[in-house]
Amino acid sequence: MKQCKTVVSLLTICALATGMANASKRPNILFIVTDDQWRTEFNFLQEGRDAEGKSLNLTPTIDRLSSEGIILDRMYAASTVCTPSRYSVLTGEYPSRSQDKGFLNDMAEFGNQPNPHFNVHITPGKPNMGNVLKANGYFTGFAGKNHVLNDGAIKVPSITKWREADPFDPKTQAFLQSKQAAEVQSVLNNGFDYAASIYAGNVPGHMPIKMEAHNQDWITKGGIDFLDLAAKQDKPFYLHFCSTLNHGPGPAGHKYSANPLFTPGGVLKEELNVQPGRNTIPKRLKAAGYNIKGDHADALWLDDGINAIVSKIEVMGKLDNTIIFFFVDNGMEAKGALYEGGAHVPAFVWAKNLKGGWRTEQLLGNIDFAPTVYDLCGIPATSQPKMDGKSFVEILNSVNKPIHDAIHLQIGSSRAVLKDGFKYIAWRVHPDREANFDIPTSGKPKSLYHIASTRGGRSLEKKIPKNYACYWDADQLYDLEKDPNEQNNLAKNPEYAPKLAMMKRLLSEQLKGQPGSFGEF
């Protein structure tokens, strides 16, 4: 039976690849990752419409691609902050498999228990979609927010003494240019052919304070420049296109109003002209009947950037043979925890030759993107790295059947499993971490939260206990159908003891295949 399923799966992959690429040309891939977007920013979700069903956003490109594509209604981020989520997208692995030295040292110091969060970088030699596709005949590019690819051998200039610098001082410009060059090289050293318009991480902390601003136009320019080079290649392309929107900082609700000349690479000589002018955003919003400020306003700015990239691919004559993936890195209602509000994220796939216009409720994880892309690109199993994720090519080919029995999640000192409408969350701070991590020289130490990376919790964590009544419980069991907001912990309810025991077994079995230890599991 297993052998028969394998044959069917291979036939499905071959059929889709043939349909996508006319049997001779492998598809191009545009992979879009957006940052900290709320569910209300998407018209294809219920949260993106008002009580009368009217859309809350003016995002014509995202609307069109999602309506023509396949919406992945049960997509989960394996980890619920930027870095580990992006790690899983690019590698197909759970973030606890990172080989980053800092992560491994932390693990060794505190009981061999992985504590994945912002410390799980991809380092040179780690298979990722950039280097695997490159090795298999693709021209690969990266534009926008990185926050995961790192090369410790590269000395990136420190921003510390430049935080108060004058943005227009030639010395500041020279510094920022050298910093950008190092950050670009770090991406290249992880296997990409091309990198440009790189934000090393979140906007704050990477440039002088007076310059801290989003610049979607600059990111779009990096993507377009890559496509210009791709047009000259005799090979298919892969573009990893990562916006910084809609992450902070502000100006809240109108980030597009920041200085259009400011970038992490220095001050531009002139405003870019790669997508509709920022000054048209409030005009278009007003004309369509929307407020000119709000998260939806910057969603339009993002939509403009995506449209510029898609239009460029169409002008190149490549759109008919391009597959577009769209993914938000983490949920915002519980970012930093494993509740639905942090792990359940918007995503869809579009392609001209896919039978689109429908939604799937099958459980999927961002660890599944890499194996799916490899299959679509015709990379044989023998040339694919070992991954935790599974290909969902069959689903894209309208075979709407499960590929997972359960979904597993992890961040910091918490792990979770989701199966049959129930979720179990285990929170286990290792005793060594509790006793020795970040202990103040005097006074009682503050509590460690689920990420367990700083006493008193990160700012993103502090609101979560206010919204989730059982946040501090070590064991949590939720019936998601009856309790979608995860407020009623059933772990201590005798009626659910068999369900709790089964979910614990599932988690234990999964963790046996992961690095290190985790509590009693």
* Residues whose CB is less than 8 angstroms from the CB of residue 273 and which lie 6 or more positions away in sequence, other chains included: none
Residue 19 has pLDDT above 90, yes or no: no
Q: Which of 255, 262, 306 is nearest to 282 (CA)?
A: 255
Amino acid at 269: K
Q: Which of 291, 311, 408 is nearest to 61 (CA)?
A: 311
Same domain for 370 and 503, yes or no, is no
Using alpha carbons only, give the angle 110, 510, 410 rounded to the nearest 5 degrees. Answer: 55
Same domain for 378 and 442, yes or no, is no
Provide the CATH number for the domain around residue 371: 3.40.720.10
Listed residues 402, 421, 451: the one ending a domain: 402
Same domain for 384 and 480, yes or no, is no
Residues in the chain: 521
What six digits make up the tokens of 301? 């700015």
**pLDDT tens sequence across 337-384:** 999 999 999 999 999 999 999 999 999 999 999 999 999 999 999 999
What integer pLDDT is reported at residue 191 of this predicted model? 98
Q: How far apart are CA 426 and CA 519, in angstroms?
A: 9
Number of other CB atoms surrounding residue 16 within 10 Å: 23
Average pLDDT of 459-466?
Answer: 95
Look at residue 369 and tell me if it is in a domain.
yes
**pLDDT tens sequence across 96-151:** 999 999 999 999 999 999 999 999 999 999 999 999 999 999 999 999 999 999 99
- Total domains in the chain come to 2
Q: Do residues 251 and 310 make contact, with C-beta atoms less than 8 angstroms apart? A: no
Look at residue 279 and tell me if it is in a domain.
yes
What integer pLDDT is reported at residue 22 of this predicted model? 39
Number of other CB atoms surrounding residue 390 within 10 Å: 18
Same domain for 353 and 468, yes or no, is no
Average pLDDT of 39-48?
Answer: 98
Q: How far apart are CA 493 and CA 504, in angstroms?
A: 15
Listed residues 402, 423, 453: the one ending a domain: 402
Look at residue 285 and tell me if it is in a domain.
yes
Residue % of the chain over a pLDDT of 70: 95
List, as one string, the DSSP characters of 205-251. Answer: TSS-GGG----HHHHHHHHHHHHHHHTTSSS-EEEEEE--TT-S-SS
Q: How far apart are CA 426 and CA 470, in angstroms?
A: 12
Residue 17: which region, alpha, beta or left (left: phi > 0; alpha: psi -120 to 50)? alpha
Same domain for 180 and 279, yes or no, is yes
**pLDDT tens sequence across 380-422:** 999 999 999 999 999 999 999 999 999 999 999 999 999 999 9
Look at residue 333 and tell me if it is in a domain.
no
Q: Do residues 36 and 202 make contact, with C-beta atoms less than 8 angstroms apart? A: no
Distances (CA, A) of 139 to 13, 76, 209: 22, 28, 36
Q: Do residues 428 and 518 make contact, with C-beta atoms less than 8 angstroms apart? A: yes
Look at residue 517 and tell me if it is in a domain.
no
Average pLDDT of 201-230?
Answer: 96
Q: How far apart are CA 233 and CA 456, in angstroms?
A: 51
What integer pLDDT is reported at residue 123 of this predicted model? 98
Q: How far apart are CA 31 and CA 13, in angstroms?
A: 19
Same domain for 452 and 366, yes or no, is no
Look at residue 112 and tell me if it is in a domain.
no
Q: Do residues 141 and 192 make contact, with C-beta atoms less than 8 angstroms apart? A: yes
Same domain for 365 and 392, yes or no, is yes
> By CB neighbour count within 10 A (0-12 exposed, 13-18 middle, 19+ buried), where does 495 fall?
exposed
Same domain for 307 and 448, yes or no, is no
What integer pLDDT is reported at residue 11 of this predicted model? 37
Distances (CA, A) of 291 to 281, 284, 287, 318, 385: 11, 10, 10, 36, 48
The backbone torsions φ and ψ at residue 181, rounded to the nearest 5 degrees and listed phi first, read -60, -40
What integer pLDDT is reported at residue 304 of this predicted model? 98
Listed residues 379, 402, 425: the one ending a domain: 402
**Pairing verdict, β 475-479 and 422-427:** antiparallel
Same domain for 87 and 138, yes or no, is yes
- In angstroms, how far is the first alpha carbon of the chain from the final one? 32
Same domain for 144 and 202, yes or no, is yes
Number of other CB atoms surrounding residue 115 within 10 Å: 28
Range of the domain at 448: 413-511
The distance from CA 204 to its chain's CA centroid, rounded to whole angstroms, is 19
Provide the CATH number for the domain around residue 480: 3.30.1120
What integer pLDDT is reported at residue 403 of this predicted model? 97
Q: Tokens 């159908």 identify what position?
A: 481
H or E stretch covering 360: strand 358-360
Residue % of the chain over a pLDDT of 90: 94
Look at residue 106 and tell me if it is in a domain.
no
Average pLDDT of 172-199?
Answer: 98
Same domain for 181 and 35, yes or no, is yes
Same domain for 243 and 351, yes or no, is yes
The three-state secondary structure class of 509 is: helix
Look at residue 306 and tell me if it is in a domain.
yes
Q: How far apart are CA 219 and CA 214, in angstroms?
A: 9
